[in-house]
């Protein structure tokens, strides 16, 4: 007979409690640890059905219940299925990240070809990165791999060495603890009180928890970093007014040095506080190496809140009408692509 969702939750609670305590489990205990909000009488009825179906047994009269071999089989199969689903989600996530990077590189190249100017596209940035989920997996007896995923699908792998071996049950408990407390939080939400509470619950594995926190902090900082994809740098050489050797050298150096471009875009966004299409002409550019150029930027948005910038750099006599029209069309297409496929 197929187990109802309620029976599955109660059976898992019985097994998890028995694994932790080694004592037969009663209905009163289960009523405290499930979110079903059922009375002890209702839970007793469900437990009676589970016993009749062979999933739990009563070791002696007036005792609680313990799992049977069939119950353990159900529990292990459920864990394996959940693990497979997690692995599938992880693979899909990594594929999505890889596809986005390739897409942004392609956008920069195609845009440069269509406009004959230099172009740049930034990866999406999340001003307040939130933790999406954390998965701890055992690599060997004394090594753990923590996969930390941030909002916007920034993924960080963090290796942890342990002084003592952890059982599969320990790893499962650690995953439940981390995701129960941290899912959806930003770095500023993780305070000392929260960390202390989690360490108390982690017990003898508090040191491992400390290592995982370090990985989380690194991942959140990494989420604040922006990748810049460029295209058409050589197009600058097409325009005689930008052809002075020294001037061209500085200009090309700026376009190749992606940190300078990132700072330039960050400065513009923080000064203006605006999104949409913006045009900066000559001395309006903070970077003096670009004082003979114009920069036109546009913002694309992801459904989960991330924003990125597309920029076109060319001479002050650039075809503004064509550039603005191209950027409007492109940002609309990117919004639709990212929010549907990614």
> Which helix H or strand E contains 150, and what residues bound it?
strand 143-150
pLDDT in tens, 214-230: 777 776 666 666 778 88
Residue 86, pLDDT above cutoff 80: no
**Strand 307-315 versus strand 118-122 pairing type:** antiparallel
Q: What is the pTM of this model?
A: 0.50
pLDDT band at 128 (very low <50, low <70, confident <90, very high): low
More confident residue, 181 or 258: 181
Give the whole-number percent of the chain exceeding pLDDT 70: 79
Nearest to residue 136, comparing CAs of 83, 99, 98, 189? Answer: 83
Over residues 317-342, mean pLDDT: 78
Over residues 285-300, mean pLDDT: 82
Residue 341, pLDDT above cutoff 50: no
Nearest-angstrom CA–CA distance, 172 and 258: 42
209 in Cβ contact with 199 (< 8 Å): yes
Question: Which residue is listed with tokens 């019985």?
Answer: 14
Average pLDDT, the chain: 78
Biggest CA-to-CA distance, the chain: 96
CA 130, distance to chain mean position in Å, is: 8
Residue 315, pLDDT above cutoff 80: yes
Residue 338, pLDDT above cutoff 70: no
Over residues 21-48, mean pLDDT: 82
CA 244, distance to chain mean position in Å, is: 45
Residue 89, pLDDT above cutoff 70: no
pLDDT in tens, 105-125: 888 888 888 889 998 888 777
Nearest-angstrom CA–CA distance, 300 and 302: 7
CA 296, distance to chain mean position in Å, is: 30
Distances (CA, A) of 300 to 18, 26, 126, 310: 52, 56, 13, 8
Nearest-angstrom CA–CA distance, 156 and 226: 15
Q: What is the pLDDT of residue 96?
A: 54
Residue 93, pLDDT above cutoff 50: no
Nearest to residue 34, comparing CAs of 52, 22, 47, 24? Answer: 47
Instruction: Write the DSSP symbol of residue 4.
Output: P
57: left (phi over 0), alpha (psi -120 to 50) or beta: beta
């Amino acid at each position: 007979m197929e187990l109802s969702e309620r029976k599955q939750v109660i059976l898992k609670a019985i097994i998890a409690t028995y694994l932790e305590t080694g004592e037969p489990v009663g209905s009163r205990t289960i009523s405290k640890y499930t979110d079903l909000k059922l009375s002890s009488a209702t839970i007793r009825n469900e437990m009676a059905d589970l016993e009749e179906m062979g999933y739990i047994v009563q070791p002696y009269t007036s005792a609680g219940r313990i799992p049977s071999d069939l119950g353990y089989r159900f529990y292990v199969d459920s864990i394996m299925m959940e693990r497979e689903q997690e692995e599938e989600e992880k693979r899909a996530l990594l594929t999505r990240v890889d596809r986005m990077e390739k897409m942004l590189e392609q956008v920069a190249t195609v845009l440069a070809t269509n406009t004959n100017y230099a172009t740049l596209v930034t990866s999406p940035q999340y001003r307040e990165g939130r933790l999406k989920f954390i998965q701890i997996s055992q690599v060997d007896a004394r090594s753990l791999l923590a996969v930390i995923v941030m909002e916007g699908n920034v993924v960080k792998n963090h290796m942890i060495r342990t002084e003592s071996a952890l059982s599969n049950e320990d790893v499962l408990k650690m995953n439940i603890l981390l995701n129960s407390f941290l899912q959806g939080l930003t770095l500023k939400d993780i305070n000392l009180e929260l960390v202390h509470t989690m360490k108390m619950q982690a017990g003898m594995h508090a040191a491992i928890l400390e290592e995982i926190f370090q990985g989380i902090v690194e991942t959140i900082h990494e989420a604040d970093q922006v990748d810049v994809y460029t295209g058409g740098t050589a197009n600058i050489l097409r325009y005689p007014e930008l052809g002075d050797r020294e001037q061209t050298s500085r200009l090309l150096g700026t376009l190749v040095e992606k940190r300078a471009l990132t700072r330039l875009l960050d400065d513009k966004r923080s000064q203006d506080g605006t999104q949409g299409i913006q045009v900066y002409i000559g001395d309006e550019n903070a970077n003096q190496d670009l004082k003979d150029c114009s920069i036109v930027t546009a913002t694309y948005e992801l459904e989960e809140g991330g924003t990125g910038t597309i920029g076109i750099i060319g001479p002050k006599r650039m075809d503004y009408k064509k550039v603005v029209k191209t950027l409007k069309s492109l940002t609309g297409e990117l919004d639709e692509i990212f929010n549907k496929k990614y």
